Amino acid sequence: MSQKSNIHFDISERKVLLRIFDIASVLSLLYVVGMVFNFDYFRIDGSRWVWSIVLALYLTVFATIFELYNLQKAAKFEIVVQNIILTSSVTVLFYLLTPFYTPELPTNRMQIIYFFLSINIALFLWRYAYIVLISAPRFFKRVLLITDSKTVVPILEALQKSDPNYKIVGFIDFDQKKENFELPYELQRYSSENIAETVATHHISEIVVATPEAQAMTIALNNQLVSLLEKGVPIREYTQVYEEITHRIPVQHVERDFYRYFPFSRSNQNKLYLFFHRILDLLFSILGLVFGLIISPVILIGNLCANRGPIFYTQIRVGKNGKPFKIFKLRSMIINAEKDGAQFAAKKDTRVTKFGRFLRRSRFDEIPQFINVIMGDMSVIGPRPERPVFVADLSKKIPFYEIRHIVKPGVTGWAQVNAKYGMSEEDALEKLQYDLYYIKRRSLFLDISIVIKTLSTIIFFRGQ
């Protein structure tokens, strides 16, 4: 049995902790180095507080882009080392290139080397301490499920995959039939006779109730939960936990009760939000098209040598309110790629050309879609538009699939930066869960988060 502790950190708490201590460790070490070596360039005092704010801002933004706040990766030191070096390098570069808000370059250039090394050392030491201490099993949130043996494994996989510090130690099976489903060896089945004793013995931090049928909860079981709730034990419903941890809406679990999630985000009707959203759409589209013009020689040469055919192609997609529109893209597949009919793209699709694979992984093939944004058919951020034939098919198989059409489709979106490329009905379900989460939680903060995650996708060449 792993070490037990009543202390645990939620996802939001760990992300805040990482951000605060990233900044605090860097500024603290810079202060010490500046005092010891009498360096002026990064000395921190009351008259130079603006410099510290600018540095903290750069550090937070680039650490987010280079995934230092991705909790799955923050627990792996070999990945953290790489991301720290990338973050510190770009942070220092921007800090050096903005002398209006930061100190002028020192005459002694060695100060810049010390500046760069100090940031790296501070982040290395703090992140190593985080991995050894905060990410250790003693700080896991220990969870007890109340469910049945049929659904416990999918729940276990969904939650612990999204948050490795969310440890489901066992479950209370309310199924009277006690069917013998194969369970992971570390997952214990406990009796419902005395839940309070189980909670105390195994240092349970939280109880999660996942009962697909209301009649599964007996009066005796409810009375035990009420008693535990009065003693301060957190008790939560599974779909709420799922949404909080995975940032997805579990449509496959809520079924007919899905409408309790309505209304969606007020931003969908907020005129001020929609106005600024449209302004940012136009601004990003202009910048995107300008960037496309800059790299157009590379696109032309690559298409001439490796694609050999039309540069652009168009396709009918389903837009807001189910209205079809013509989407523009750079061609990444061979000519007549769908002569046998429409089909999902596969992971190693032979129809994709060598240059087309580069366009997809870099996301450059999406650049012409900024024309669709300017025309008003799309937004920069939103669910990806799908083809009518796929929409018709998926709407019959996946509950509430067409809800994703209540907002404009996007060039990028919450599903695009979190889910894998859609190659099957299961992938479409996962993407729908992310799309509905975006529609429900739509806000300026979430939009900014998607833009930053999109930059990470481009930088790490993860497009498909």
Q: 84-99: per-residue pLDDT in tens?
A: 999 999 999 988 888 7
Note whether 78 and 197 are same-domain residues: no
Domain holding 393, by residue range, is: 266-459
Note whether 90 and 178 are same-domain residues: no
The predicted pLDDT at position 142 comes to 87
> Does 113 map to a domain?
yes
More confident residue, 380 or 237: 380
The predicted pLDDT at position 445 comes to 87
Note whether 318 and 353 are same-domain residues: yes
- pLDDT above 90 covers a percentage of the chain that reads 30
For the segment 262-298, what is each residue's pLDDT rounded down to a tens digit? 556 677 778 888 999 999 999 999 999 999 999 999 9
How far does the chain reach from its first CA to its final CA, in angstroms?
41
The predicted pLDDT at position 1 comes to 38
> Does 22 map to a domain?
yes
The predicted pLDDT at position 420 comes to 73
> Does 364 map to a domain?
yes
Residue 353 above 50 pLDDT?
Answer: yes
Note whether 210 and 298 are same-domain residues: no
Give the chain's domain count: 3
Average of per-residue pLDDT values in the chain: 84
CATH code for position 228:
3.40.50.720
User: pTM here?
Assistant: 0.80
Residues 297 and 388: their CA atoms lie apart, in Å, by: 34
> Does 345 map to a domain?
yes
Residue 382 dihedral angles phi and psi, to the nearest 5°: 165, 180
Last residue of a domain, one of 187, 212, 246: 246
Q: H helices of 38-137, where?
A: 49-65, 71-74, 77-96, 110-129
Last residue of a domain, one of 134, 151, 170: 134
Note whether 230 and 183 are same-domain residues: yes
What's the mean pLDDT in 240-264? 73
Read off the amino acid at residue 406: I
The predicted pLDDT at position 6 comes to 56
The predicted pLDDT at position 215 comes to 54
Note whether 187 and 272 are same-domain residues: no
Last residue of a domain, one of 134, 152, 171: 134
Please report the sign of the dihedral spanned by the C-alpha atoms of residue 379, residue 384, residue 390, residue 391.
negative
User: Which of 240-244, 341-345, 365-369 is predicted most confidently?
Assistant: 365-369
Residue 2 above 50 pLDDT?
Answer: no
Residue 378 tokens, joined: 């799309």
Given a contact cutoff of 8 angstroms between Cβ atoms, the answer to whether 249 and 436 are in contact is yes
Note whether 325 and 425 are same-domain residues: yes
Note whether 120 and 200 are same-domain residues: no
User: Which of 135-149, 204-218, 219-233 is predicted most confidently?
Assistant: 219-233
Residues 6+ apart with CB under 8 A from 335: 309, 310
Note whether 221 and 279 are same-domain residues: no
